[in-house]
Structure 1
Amino acid sequence: MSYQIAEQVSSEKLFTIDGLIRLGHYTIFLCITTEFLVLSQLGNMFYMVYAGAAPTIKSCGTYKFNSSMSSSDICKQIYTLNGNETCRSELEYDFKSMNVEFEYLCHNSKYVKHSISIQMIGAVIGSLIFGQLSDLCGRKPVLLFCVSGCIIFGFISSFSKDLLTATIYRTIIGLFNGGQIAAMFVYVVEMLPKKDRIWVTTLISFSPNVILLAMMAYYSQNWRQLAIVISFLTSPAILLCILSYESPRWLIQKGRINEAQHVLKQITRWNGRNDVTNDMIDEVIDAEREILREKRNRKNYYIYHLFHTRQLTTLAASMINYGMLFSMEKLPGSIYTNNIMLGLIRYAVNVASVLTDYTQGWFGRRVAHTVPLALTSIGFIIHFIIICSGLSTELEIVSRIATLMAFAMMSQIYIITGMSGNELFPTPLRSMCFSFLQVVGRIGVVFAPQLFFLADFWIPAPFVALIMFALSDLVLYLIFIPETKDQPLPERLSTTTDSISSQLPTKQLMNS
């Protein structure tokens, strides 16, 4: 009797959605679509790296400033000079930012940082609203609506007459951008085989697009043209989203069985899988239909359901990543060179992680999260020691490399955090979970531009804060997040009974 039950369970699990979805032509189409979406997300999220970059003040009237002087010392000199006579500042900059055009210099530059924080609040709200909507209305319509909003308001924002107007438009863009980030990653994970999720989402990520954005900024030369270029180059995403299919996992979960059946047939045909027959697809659909029949009272899930399980942690990665990101002008060297170096280092780390993950079974999500955070902490500690020892000028290259290396590791942290969240939570909550992680992260982004104002009290203070964030993230992840590598995506929210049953031995389950 036990043998028959075991054989029946085995046959029931023979055909699953994970088994039907394989790499193929539709995967290539999905990757192209994802690249345009990621470029839109990164372009709008990193836009203020260039549009909010503070220029270097070379002189004030006839008074020339020494190149070794810090920006705070220059500003103090200007205040002293303005107390005696009014002088006009001569600026040096790589990119004509809002700071330059609207003349937000020295203490007034904080208004640009405040603008960035307000824009990030839009991303927080967007992650909440559209993350919920993508679970209720579908991944595809939310993605299409959000990327269209980013493109349209991107064009409009280029005509802003002042910082306030630009902040309003860019906050609306942040709203849509937060929504498409929350929906896209979940959609892509649901459409990929489990063993290919990491390498696809790593290769098509923010890292290589950091380099593309640096090139776009270099040829744009000012914040207005950059906004137009980003919107123009990402506009094909609208057509690609229209041509893409809805997630079959979401359709099945919502009881739209016939649509899910049609989508699975189309995807398998696109992928050129001749070994998948209609009977196999029908078997998967029938199994899911039976599950839905057993659920007499179908219900929607909301954010509070995320706390049905303990497997969630609040991460500090955003404070580290965006705290450094929106203060890139403080690093020595060209802002374009620094961002290209950053993109190359990030991508090299990502590719190395992908290769290790694909070939080494021991390299799971926990290891992939721990190693980069440890290196981040070491990089910031080195920079902190250099500042405290007063050797910033002599060890400028070492400091620059250590900081960029620490900063670059955050790319891997974002990928692993998002992947863990998606692999832990079932389909009804997956998009909501990712959007909640985005909300927590975006709260960090809101405060990140203000982080380097701590240097007004003590110069190394921002890096002390960054070290603390990195170490707390490291500890919290190791305590709360289990290993999820090579695990099938859960389709339903587990109950207390389910969790207890899952811990029973196989023999006991068969007897029961």
Structure 2
Amino acid sequence: MEKKKIRTNIPFRLDRLPWSPWHVLVVIALGITWILDGLEVTIVGVISDVLTKPSTLALTDFEAGFLGTAYLIGAVVGAIFFSYLTDKYGRKKLFMITLGTYIAGTLLSAVSFNFISIATFRTITGLGIGGEYSAINSAIDELIPARVRGWVDLAINGSWWIGTIMGSALSLYILNPAIFPINLGWRLAFFLGASLAFAVLLIRRYLPESPRWLLIHGREEEANSVVSQIENKVKDQTKKTLDNVHKYITIIPRDVIGFKTVGKTVFKTYPKRTVLGLWLMAGQAFLYNAIFFTYSLILSTFYHIPADQVGLYIFPFAVGNFFGPLILGRLFDTYGRKKMISVTYILSGGLLAFTGYLFYLGILNALTQTLAWVVIFFFASAGASSAYLTVSEVFPVEIRAMAIAFFYAVGTALGGVASPAIFGALIATKQPLFLFYGYLLGAGLMAAAGVVEILFGVNAERKSLEEVAKPITEVEEEVAE
């Protein structure tokens, strides 16, 4: 039996809301995902050299680098598995479950006893983070007003670097053998990450389900109730009168969107957007995962930096990465998606190739290498954040979580899963030339993704999600003002 049609203005009511403390709560409660991911990547990066010591887990350089790959394998599987559940059972249920999975994996990582155990526990941690990507990106895009969606998304994705800053600062203390025994400090880092996640888990209980998700599943009254509550909170907090909304869409709800429909939408309806999403995700995944999962190995092997001092070099690097999306983000809403994404990708790729050449020549030291990376990743960070923004807004709401998961999983599998292990092997040769080849590969992937953006990019700035990608459930009965 076909469900009745629903004529609604809910998406446009959400998009016309003024910025308020309620939106800040959404950003804090959901944006923590990127902070936790940044913390995880940084911790594994800075402790990788420590874990090769006989008094800890005695890993080889390859095994230490593989921990990043194990984490990413888990993230890829988690993204696919949890995304289907996110689109089927709702954003709220799943962003509670995925964060709980992350907490379990992180706590287990803290009590690892050999390579097999820590690789397994890092995979579980990755499952939670991968699931978070689809559940959180879906919820954020569906709750944030269209006019600031680009800047907010980039700023939230850029908050990954707050986690990096926290991890690097933490490493200066917990990896200092004068303060903690060498086999205790790295374990404490994981415990602290889990503690932060548990605190956020409590905050998330107060967030609502996405009204857009409720609508497409036929729960119109609940969706209207949620939006009304949000509007009342925003009016009370901002003391502003909300404009009336006269724009509507008409949909026929569906309980389940099958994989056949997902495949048809992604590959037949939007083939150019599919190519675009894969290139953007793969390019940035290779670059970031290669550099950060092996950061301490590069500093220790080629510049002889002690493990307890690595954080000093990561800190300014992370600050530059955080301010890239924060400062450049508004231009993605004003100057435009296509122009800004292509510029950030191509520019960062070119700068990486040039810096890699200087590294090969032996011109750089630990300080100048870090300064060069600060400049490169100021732009690359904005570009990488825009990849997640792109795949989360250019596909219909009904398959948003699965689309995000697909591009994250396939893009990461193509560009990111193998890169930490590859760079770990290149570093193990102790030959600058081989590492330079790795840098060239990363630079080429970034620049190529920038060219694909020029060809297939979508001008989604300041548009409702329903205008960027027509809902699958929408029927041709839209009534405009």
Equivalent of 1:473, from 428, 449, 455?
449
Q: What is the rounded CA distance, in whole Å, between the counterparts of 2:456 and 2:55 in structure 1? A: 47
Contact 2:72 2:126 in 1 (8 A): yes
Match of 2:388 among 400, 410, 418: 418
244-253 or 471-480, which deviates more: 471-480
Alignment of 1:167-316 (within 5 A): 167-204=119-156, 205-221=159-175, 222-272=185-235, 275-276=241-242, 290-292=250-252, 299-302=256-259, 303-304=262-263, 305-307=265-267, 308-310=269-271, 311-312=273-274, 313=276, 314-315=278-279, 316=283
Report SS of the residue matched to 2:465.
Answer: coil
Is the 8 Å Cα contact of residues 15 and 144 (structure 2) preserved in structure 1?
no
- Correspondence for 1:401: 371
Partner deviation per Cα, 1:101-159 (whole Å, 9 max, x = no partner): 44646xx3112222321221110000111112111111111100010121133222211
d(CA) in 1 for partners of 2:233, 2:439: 50
Q: Does 1:43 align with 2:39?
A: yes
- 8 A contact 2:352–2:439 mirrored in 1: yes
- 1:433 corresponds to which residue? 403
Q: What is the CA-CA distance between 1:327 and the residue it aligns to?
A: 1.9
Residue 71 of structure 1 aligns with which residue? none
Q: Work out the CA distance in 1 between the residues paired with 2:201 and 2:10.
A: 37
Which of 56, 73, 92 in structure 2 is aligned with 1:121? Answer: 73
Deviation at 1:398, TM superposition (A): 4.0
In structure 2, the residue corresponding to 1:160 is in which secondary structure?
coil
**Aligned residue type for 1:306:** V
Conserved 8 A contact 1:50-1:223:
no
Q: Which residue of 2 aligns with 1:364?
A: 336
How far apart, CA to CA, are the structure 1 residues paired with 2:421 and 2:11? Answer: 52
Question: 1:63 maps to what in 2?
Answer: none
Contact 2:150/2:330 (<8 A) preserved: no
* C-alpha separation in 2, matches of 1:437 and 1:199: 21
Of residues 255-264 and 373-382 in structure 1, the stretch that sits farther from structure 2 once superposed is 373-382
Distance across 2 between alignment mates of 1:474 and 1:15: 31
Q: CA deviation at 1:416?
A: 1.0
CA contact (8 A) 2:79 2:408 kept: yes
In structure 2, do the counterparts of structure 1 residues 391 and 115 end up closer, same or farther at CA, with 3 Å as the change threshold? closer
* Aligned 8 A contact 2:317 2:370 in 1: no
Change (3 A) 1:401 1:239: same
CA distance in 2, matches of 1:434, 1:408: 24
**Alpha-carbon offset, residue 23 of structure 1:** 1.9
Equivalent residue runs for 1:435-454 within 5 Å: 435-443=405-413, 444-452=415-423, 453-454=425-426
1:220–1:229 contact (8 Å) kept in structure 2: no
1:27-69 deviation per Cα after TM superposition (whole angstroms, max 9, x unaligned): 12212213433322322344311232x2xxxxxxxxxxxxxxx
In structure 1, what is the Cα distance between the partners aligned to 2:396 and 2:449?
24
Q: Distance in 2 between matches of 1:347 and 1:44?
A: 16
Q: C-alpha offsets along residues 68-102 of structure 1, whole Å, 9 cap, x if unaligned?
A: xxxxxxxxxxxxxxxxxxxxxxxxxxxx4465644
Question: Is the 8 Å Cα contact of residues 339 and 454 (structure 2) preserved in structure 1?
Answer: no
In 2, Cα distance between the equivalents of 1:345 and 1:275? Answer: 39
Counterpart CA distance in 2 for 1:415 and 1:387 is 27
The C-alpha deviation readout for 1:391-416, integer Å capped at 9, x for no partner, is: 335x6654442234224433212221
Pairwise CA distance, 1:419 = 1.4
Alpha-carbon distance in structure 1 between the residues aligned to 2:21 and 2:447 = 42
Q: In the aligned structure 2, how far is the partner of 1:132 from the partner of 1:414?
A: 24
What is the distance in 2 between the residues matched to 1:408 and 1:49?
A: 20
Instruction: Determine if contact 1:189/1:422 at 8 Å carries over to the other structure.
Output: yes
* Mapped contact 2:341–2:386 kept (Cα < 8 A): yes
Q: Distance in 2 between matches of 1:187 and 1:15?
A: 13
* Change in CA separation of 1:171 and 1:18 when aligned onto 2, cut-off 3 Å: same
Equivalent pair of 2:45/2:294 in contact (CA under 8 Å): yes
Computed over aligned residues only, the root mean square deviation of the Cα atoms, in angstroms, reads: 3.1
Contact 2:41–2:293 under 8 Å retained in 1: no
Which amino acid is the alignment partner of residue 50 of structure 1? V
Per-residue displacement from partner, 1:352-386 (whole Å, max 9, x unpaired)?
2034345xx3x211222122223322322222332
Aligned partner of residue 464 in structure 2, secondary structure: coil
Check whether the contact 1:40–1:147 (CA below 8 A) recurs between aligned residues. Answer: no
Distance 1:103 1:172 in 2: 19
Change (3 A) 1:100 1:185: farther
Judging changes above 3 Å, is the alpha-carbon distance between structure 1 residues 413 and 44 closer, same or farther for their aligned structure 2 residues?
A: same
Rounded to whole Å, the distance in 2 between the matches of 1:494 and 1:309 is 12
SS in 1 for 2:257: coil
What is the CA–CA distance in structure 1 between the aligned matches of 2:68 and 2:409, rounded to whole Å?
16
* Equivalent position SS for 1:409: helix
Relative to structure 1, the CA distance from residue 115 to residue 327 in structure 2 (aligned partners, 3 Å threshold; closer, same or farther) is closer
Code of the residue aligned with 1:336 in structure 2: it is G
Given that 1:99 and 1:112 are in contact with CA atoms closer than 8 Å, whether structure 2 keeps it comes out as no
Counterpart CA distance in 2 for 1:387 and 1:25 is: 46
Taking a change above 3 Å as real, the CA distance of residues 373 and 135 of structure 1, as seen in their structure-2 partners, is: same
Report whether the alignment pairs 1:376 with 2:348: yes
Secondary structure of 1:271's partner?
helix
1:227 is displaced (CA, Å) by 0.4
**Unaligned ranges ≥5, structure 2:** 1-6, 176-184
Residues 126, 175 of structure 1: 8 Å contact kept: yes
Q: Distance in 1 between matches of 2:55 and 2:352?
A: 33
* CA–CA separation in structure 2 for the residues paired with 1:226 and 1:475: 40
Cα distance in structure 2, aligned partners of 1:439 and 1:493: 23
Q: Under a length normalisation based on structure 1, what TM-score does the superposition of the two structures give?
A: 0.77
- Matching residue of 1:352: 327
Query: 1-side partners of 2:35 and 2:11: how far apart?
Result: 36
Cα distance change on mapping 1:436 and 1:34 into 2, 3 Å: same
Write the deviation string for residues 459-496 of structure 1: whole angstroms up to 9, x where unpaired.
Answer: 3211221222122212222222222111210264469x
Task: State the alpha-carbon separation in 2 of the partners of residues 347 and 411 from structure 1.
Answer: 7
Give the secondary-structure state (helix, strand or coil) at the position aligned to 1:272: helix
Distance 1:15 1:440, change over 3 A: closer
Counterpart selection for 1:23 from 15, 19, 26 = 19
Pairing 1:141-152 to 2, within 5 Å after superposition: 141-152=93-104
Mark the CA change 1:98 to 1:198 in structure 2 (over 3 Å): closer, same or farther.
farther
The equivalent of 2:462 in structure 1 is 486
Once the two structures are TM-superposed, the CA of residue 208 in structure 1 deviates from its matched residue by 2.7
